[in-house]
C-alpha cells in the first residue's frame, strides 16, 4: 500500500510542477495579442484548477505517508505551513485569473490583474521549490 500511495503522491507532485513554469508563462502575457492573452489566461485558469486537484491528492497521500514514516515535528510543521501557503496562493490566484479573462474579452486593460498574477505565480513557484527541497532533504530539520 505504501508504494501505491508514494506513486500517487509523486503524480500529485507532478501536477504541482505547473507552478514552477507559471512565472515564465505569465511574464510574457503583456507582449501577446488579445487572442494570445485570452488563450494563455484561459489555459492557466484550467491548469490551476488541475493543479489544485493535484494538491488535494498531495494532502490525502501525504497524510498517509507521514503516518508511515518517522519524521520530526518541526519538519511536519514546515511542510504543513508550506502546503497551506500553496493552497492559499493557488486559490487566491483564481480571482485575478477570472478578472483578467473578463477584461481581455471586454478589451479592457488588465495591468492590475497581470501584476497580481505575476506576484502570486512567483510566490507559488518559490513555495513549490521550497517544499520540494524539504521533501527530498527531510532530515535537515
**Domain range holding 25?**
2-136
| Average pLDDT of the segment spanning 132-137 | 94
Q: What is the pLDDT of residues 21-80, one digit of tens each?
A: 999 999 999 899 999 999 999 999 999 999 999 999 999 999 999 999 889 999 999 999
| Average pLDDT of the segment spanning 118-126 | 97
Task: Indicate the pTM of the whole model.
Answer: 0.92
Average per-residue pLDDT for the chain: 94
User: Are the C-beta atoms of residues 131 and 22 closer than 8 Å to each other?
Assistant: no
Q: Confirm whether 88 is domain-assigned.
A: yes
Q: What is the pLDDT of residues 88-105, one digit of tens each?
A: 999 999 999 999 999 999
Q: Is 77 exposed, middle or buried (0-12, 13-18, 19+ CB in 10 A)?
A: exposed
Q: Confirm whether 24 is domain-assigned.
A: yes
Q: Say yes or no to pLDDT of 112 above 90.
A: yes
Q: Confirm whether 141 is domain-assigned.
A: no
Q: Confirm whether 82 is domain-assigned.
A: yes
Check residue 97 and give left, alpha or beta (phi > 0: left; psi -120 to 50: alpha): alpha
Q: Is 111 exposed, middle or buried (0-12, 13-18, 19+ CB in 10 A)?
A: exposed
Q: Confirm whether 26 is domain-assigned.
A: yes
> What pLDDT does 69 receive?
86
> What pLDDT does 104 receive?
95
First vs last C-alpha separation in the chain: 27
Q: Confirm whether 18 is domain-assigned.
A: yes
Report how many domains make up the chain.
1
Amino acid at each position: 500500500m505504501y508504494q501505491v500511495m508514494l506513486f500517487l503522491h509523486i503524480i500529485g507532485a507532478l501536477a504541482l510542477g505547473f507552478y514552477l513554469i507559471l512565472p515564465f508563462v505569465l511574464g510574457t502575457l503583456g507582449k501577446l495579442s488579445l487572442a494570445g492573452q485570452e488563450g494563455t489566461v484561459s489555459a492557466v485558469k484550467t491548469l490551476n484548477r488541475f493543479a489544485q486537484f493535484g494538491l488535494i491528492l498531495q494532502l490525502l497521500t501525504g497524510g498517509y505517508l507521514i503516518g508511515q514514516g518517522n519524521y520530526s515535528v518541526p519538519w511536519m510543521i514546515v511542510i504543513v505551513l508550506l502546503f497551506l501557503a500553496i493552497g492559499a496562493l493557488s486559490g487566491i490566484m483564481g480571482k485575478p485569473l477570472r478578472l483578467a479573462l473578463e477584461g481581455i474579452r471586454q478589451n479592457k486593460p488588465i495591468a492590475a490583474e497581470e501584476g497580481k498574477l505575476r506576484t502570486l505565480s512567483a510566490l507559488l513557484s518559490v513555495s513549490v521549490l521550497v517544499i520540494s527541497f524539504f521533501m527530498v532533504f527531510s532530515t535537515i530539520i
